[in-house]
Structure 1
Amino acid sequence: MNDIPPPGDDFAMLGYVDLDGLIRGKYATSAKLKSWQEKGGAFCSVVLGWDSRDALYQNRHTGWHTGYHDDPIRVVPGPGRVMPGDGRRFHLVEYADGPGAALCPRRLAGRVLDEACAMGFTALAGFEYEFYVFRETPASALAKGYRGLTPLNPTTGGYSVQRMAVEDGFFSGLMALARQLETPLEAIHPEAGEGAMEFAFTPSEPLEGADRAAIFKAFSRAWGNQNGLSLCYMAKPLNGLPGCGGHTHLSLWQGEQSAFYDPDGEGGLSQTARHFIAGQLKYMPELLALYAPTINSFTRLAPGFWAPTGATWGFDNRTCSLRVVGDSAKSVRVEMRPPAADANPYLVLAAALASGLQGIREGLDPGPAIKGNGYEADLPPERRFPASLAEAAARLRGSDMARAWFGDAFTDHFVTSREAEVAAQRAWVSDWELNRYFEMI
């Protein structure tokens, strides 16, 4: 009888975060989990060679030419997180050393953080997400063709206390879910738009922050479905309304001292912070596919919809791509605003941090901060964003900076995955095309 595990410990869920930020995994017995924790395990390489809808695409690492081999994996150290319901635990896994590790988003972010450490810095990160909530199940939304969906709220009500009081079960339920998953939310509130919401995670060590983002997005969707709701993290699910950002806040530290703060600098910024901002600006357009990884991502990047359209920066200016926030050593940070809610948090972290660190290495200067409407800034061509995922993927493929920081294997593989996304969209007849051309052309 003593060998019978207590309730909730007889098996656990294991999950890998793929290129699209989806968690792919399986249930495993406690014995299997223990074996993987001690010796490592293996995971089918197909998750490195299919898209978000399980469609295969040609790539060098895996495919019919390799027989979709297994790659070695390891369990991320730690006790795991308690899942909703029966109290069983969820553990992240990542690809272990080998070819799979070069393509693993979590390992990539870890390598960039190691480089920051080698340069004498540690980092602090805070992720925040906008999303829409519908009174729909996945089945009912599909049956409606994802049109005419019923939002959680019938009218807009940004920051509305009334909305939060009326829907207390939703807001308190999400806060409780985050607490149980050990992915604590600092705040949550209604945004402008029917059913629009936003939450922010408590700042943390960057890799832990990305873990929290990936895990909470997955389990919040599941929690919503269990309660007859659909939580949508698409970059822009509705016409005429703002899209959903996945803003990321970063700061650098040297021991207990902020590397970004200088009371004598403009806006309290140190020279290191200015170099960091300049690097993010310089490389933002060629890394945009990592911040805006889907066809839909580019519908969000439009003037007047709270999303940037070019590489700009300013102090507490939400029309800019980079918003400098804070007025003290503890609070000063840079908010990266181009990422959409559909972006992989590990890849956003890797791109935002690597580009900033590269700016420090090159000693770049960001130029004057924009005051007023950043959408009206007269930007040189190299600071303008690619207009589509196809253009963004091409820019990333030709980026020497990406290859130096992320490696040829990852850069080529990720670009290939985005090119496959573009090809899938080009072969599909959209509602827009039918509405525009069916009768009159």
Structure 2
Amino acid sequence: MTSFAQRCGVHDAAREEAVARVAQRIEAQGLELVRFAWCDLHGVLRGKTLVAAAAPRALREGLGMVSTLMLKDTSDRTAFRVFEPGGTDSLPGFGFANNLQLLGDPASFRQLPWTAATGWIQCQPWFTDGQPVELDTRRVLQRALARLEKAGFELKCGLEIEFHIYRIEDAQAQLDAEQAAWPAPVPRVSLVHPGYNLLAEGWYDLAEEPLRIVLRTAQALGLPLLSLEVELGPSQVEAVFEPTDALTAADNMVLFRNAVKMALRRAGYHATFMCRPPFPNIMSSGWHLHQSLVDLHTGANAFRRDSPGTHTTPADAGSTLSQVGEHWLAGLLQHARGMAVFCTPTANGFGRFRPNALAPQSVLWGRDNRGALLRVIGDCGDEATRIENRIGEPAANPYLYIASQVHAGLEGIGRRLLPPAATDAPYAGTGENLPTSLGEALAALRTDLGLCEAFGAAFIDYFTQIKRSEQQRLEAADDSEEFMRREYFGRL
């Protein structure tokens, strides 16, 4: 009898050997539990924890998962009427809270450093007939990268992630059964450094204990962490990672974000990737995505230019970027408003787009300009030449954030779009404004025909219905600040 993994078309002799190696490692390391984890629409890991002896079979046969986990908004409410006639007509294969199957990747196996005798495996969902669930966000990125490979390129991404760490002073409200709510109250917290002293060594020293936990967690998981820094805002920090291929970068972001939250919580700290935590005098957190293309035929950086283009000035993209880089940059600009909701998906994140805040406000690019949406970094002959997109918030689903870059950039290449001149005044009011609310961003996506076609109508309908549920609940909330506190600060 064939296994479920074989019926899915993914199991061969090499994968069977990988499953056997996982079983050997489980036994050799004395593991008791293995977590089978899947990334949901909001970038949060969900899954099931098995006794260790059951893990090899689950790698072959999969694990049942209720399909409504793919239909949840940020509060964990199901955004589709799954028990009403026609409620899931737009979602073939879904209905009545039926089962999907989670199938793990044995190559992703690792031991978790913050909890005893526990392994971890990354999964993706499949329908019970062995067909892939195409709405899964990791598959969305995989399809985008397949388009890019067909065009002769690979995307390379570097992660630069700002977030906040607080010391938990009282967790009782969150855990008190008398105060349980949906979503739950948040813990009372204090700062780990007072802020407004960027990169101050003294402030780093104050925050060193939780940052050491971040360091040890990332390194134990094999993540390519490069640096940990004290950012400008109170209790704000930043993690920077070495560049990797795009899918690995997205996987790393999901694992890092979720692992850091759990490891710090056990030590009495609350980490949040919410853009604007619910306190006075905070600084917004961004996720700056560095990107370049690798030419699959030569292995070279396809954005690098050896000498300035003919008749160019420093304000022209062609003075630094290759023609491919110019087109990619223009594609990102063309679709900036449409991609915004993939890069900044929470209602909270749009408060970051304001003047003189080291965050973008308008659809502009600049040369090494941190006020612009897109920052071109590098000089002629520099193999590290790249584009930094500063639109993202750290709570974004990385698969969707990166997929939006691929689809936008490919349209720029395909249509041979050219960018305007670089800005030297990113907050002067020139250029089209980025969306200022979740509702405006959803509308911008709907009118971006290129992105809608690239992601596919089925995914756009699915995504926008779930995000509209979040937006409607925010509009109906008596206290929008309390909504964001519980919806984002306590959960993301």
TM above 0.5, one fold?
yes
Q: Which residue of 2 aligns with 1:292?
A: 344
Percent of residue pairs bearing the same amino acid type:
27
Is residue 97 of structure 2 the alignment partner of residue 68 of structure 1?
A: yes
Q: Which residue of 1 aligns with 2:437?
A: 388
Q: Which residue of 2 aligns with 1:262?
A: 305
Letter aligned with residue 259 of structure 1: A
Return the offset for 1:242: 2.2
Letter aligned with residue 102 of structure 2: I
1:45 to 63, 67, 91: 67
Is the 8 Å Cα contact of residues 171 and 188 (structure 2) preserved in structure 1?
Answer: no
Is the 8 Å Cα contact of residues 260 and 329 (structure 1) preserved in structure 2?
Answer: no
Is the 8 Å Cα contact of residues 49 and 62 (structure 1) preserved in structure 2?
Answer: no
1:227 to 267, 273, 287: 267
Q: Which residue of 2 aligns with 1:436?
A: none
Alpha-carbon distance in 2 for matches of 1:173, 1:208? 22
1:129 to 149, 161, 173: 161
Q: For 1:248, what is the secondary structure of its paired residue?
A: strand
2:49 to 23, 27, 31: 27
1:307 to 359, 362, 377: 359
- Alpha-carbon RMSD across the aligned residues, in angstroms, is 2.7
Is the 8 Å Cα contact of residues 280 and 356 (structure 1) preserved in structure 2?
Answer: yes
Distance 1:432 1:420, change over 3 A: closer
1:153-191 Cα shifts (integer Å, max 9, x gaps): 134331111222343322222111100111221111000
Q: For 1:207, what is the secondary structure of its paired residue?
A: helix
Letter aligned with residue 437 of structure 2: S
Distance 1:99 1:319, change over 3 A: farther
Is the 8 Å Cα contact of residues 242 and 306 (structure 1) preserved in structure 2?
Answer: no
Is the 8 Å Cα contact of residues 169 and 189 (structure 2) preserved in structure 1?
Answer: no
1:303-340 Cα shifts (integer Å, max 9, x gaps): 12221112111111000111111234421111110110
Is the 8 Å Cα contact of residues 386 and 392 (structure 1) preserved in structure 2?
Answer: yes
Q: Which residue of 2 aligns with 1:439?
A: none
Letter aligned with residue 309 of structure 1: Q
Return the offset for 1:390: 0.9
Alpha-carbon distance in 1 for matches of 2:270, 2:163? 10
Return the offset for 1:283: 0.5
Q: For 1:71, what is the secondary structure of its paired residue?
A: strand
Alpha-carbon distance in 1 for matches of 2:287, 2:305? 28
Is residue 281 of structure 2 the alignment partner of residue 240 of structure 1?
A: yes
Alpha-carbon distance in 2 for matches of 1:367, 1:357? 18
Return the offset for 1:6: 4.2
Return the offset for 1:38: 2.7
Alpha-carbon distance in 2 for matches of 1:33, 1:210? 25
Letter aligned with residue 477 of structure 2: W
Alpha-carbon distance in 1 for matches of 2:73, 2:203? 37
Is residue 242 of structure 2 the alignment partner of residue 199 of structure 1?
A: no
- 1:19-418 superposed matches below 5 A: 19-58=41-80, 60=88, 66-84=95-113, 85-96=115-126, 101-136=133-168, 139=171, 149-237=189-277, 238-254=279-295, 255-265=298-308, 266-327=318-379, 328-371=381-424, 373-379=425-431, 383-418=432-467
1:44-102 Cα shifts (integer Å, max 9, x gaps): 21111112221111263669982111123321340412212324221111123777622
Return the offset for 1:406: 1.1
Letter aligned with residue 294 of structure 1: T
Is the 8 Å Cα contact of residues 101 and 126 (structure 2) preserved in structure 1?
Answer: yes
Letter aligned with residue 135 of structure 2: L
Letter aligned with residue 303 of structure 2: F
Is residue 38 of structure 2 the alignment partner of residue 16 of structure 1?
A: yes
Q: Which residue of 1 aligns with 2:487?
A: none
Alpha-carbon distance in 1 for matches of 2:305, 2:94? 55
Q: For 2:355, what is the secondary structure of its paired residue?
A: coil
Is the 8 Å Cα contact of residues 263 and 269 (structure 1) preserved in structure 2?
Answer: no
Return the offset for 1:137: 6.0
May I ask how many residue pairs the two structures share in their alignment? 429
Alpha-carbon distance in 2 for matches of 1:201, 1:278? 26
Is the 8 Å Cα contact of residues 74 and 95 (structure 1) preserved in structure 2?
Answer: yes
Q: For 1:323, what is the secondary structure of its paired residue?
A: strand
Q: For 1:150, what is the secondary structure of its paired residue?
A: strand
Q: Could you state the TM-score of these two structures normalised by the residue count of structure 1?
A: 0.90
Q: Could you state the TM-score of these two structures normalised by the residue count of structure 2?
A: 0.81
Letter aligned with residue 95 of structure 1: P
Is the 8 Å Cα contact of residues 257 and 329 (structure 1) preserved in structure 2?
Answer: no
* Ranges in structure 1 where 5+ consecutive residues have no aligned partner: 434-441
